[in-house]
Amino acid sequence: MVWSKPCLWYDVVDTFGQTQRVQGTWERDVAQWLTERGINWETCRRKASGHWMPLSDGTTYIPDFYLFGYDVYLDPKIVNELPRKMSLLEAEYPGRVYMLGLVDGDYIADLVELLRQLEAGEVTRGMLH
């Protein structure tokens, strides 16, 4: 049996002045980066948030972040974590969910590039590779 270190939870204040709870340092870093730049966001863990995404395989995908001004979802992940689920998301929610850090784990650089592409209208698919 492989034991892993439990993931820590962090409280981060969003751009609305509300405290949002995020899981792990990746999510914390993305949340702080968004807040520092005045980008309105929220976490999607509460079912009442309305951001849960039912998938055709009977599972539900819960993104980490929703960006209000862009109407997209963000998820800092490593590509080999969710290959099947990523395929379903691309097919069922095209252009809505963006995975960060897919290639080299540099999720902040991916986020900078994603926002640049969204603002320029250059994004043609949901997964940022």
State the sign of the Cα–Cα–Cα–Cα dihedral 35, 49, 64, 116.
Answer: negative
The whole-chain average pLDDT of the chain stands at: 82
How confident is the model at residue 114, as a pLDDT? 86
**Residue 126 confidence (pLDDT) above 70:** no
**Which ranges in the chain belong to alpha helices (H)?**
24-36, 83-92, 107-120
Q: Is residue 70 predicted with pLDDT exceeding 60?
A: yes
Is the pLDDT score of 1 beyond 60? Answer: no
Instruction: Return the axis-axis angle of helices 107-120 and 24-36, rounded to nearest 10°.
Output: 40
- Checking phi first, is residue 57 left (phi over 0); if not, alpha (psi -120 to 50) or beta? alpha
Percentage of the chain beyond pLDDT 70 is: 83
- What was the pLDDT predicted at 129? 40
Residue pLDDT, tens place only, 35-67: 999 999 999 887 777 888 899 999 888 889 999
Closest CA to 78 of 87, 86, 69: 86
* pLDDT tens profile 113-124: 888 988 888 875
CA 122, chain centre distance (Å): 19
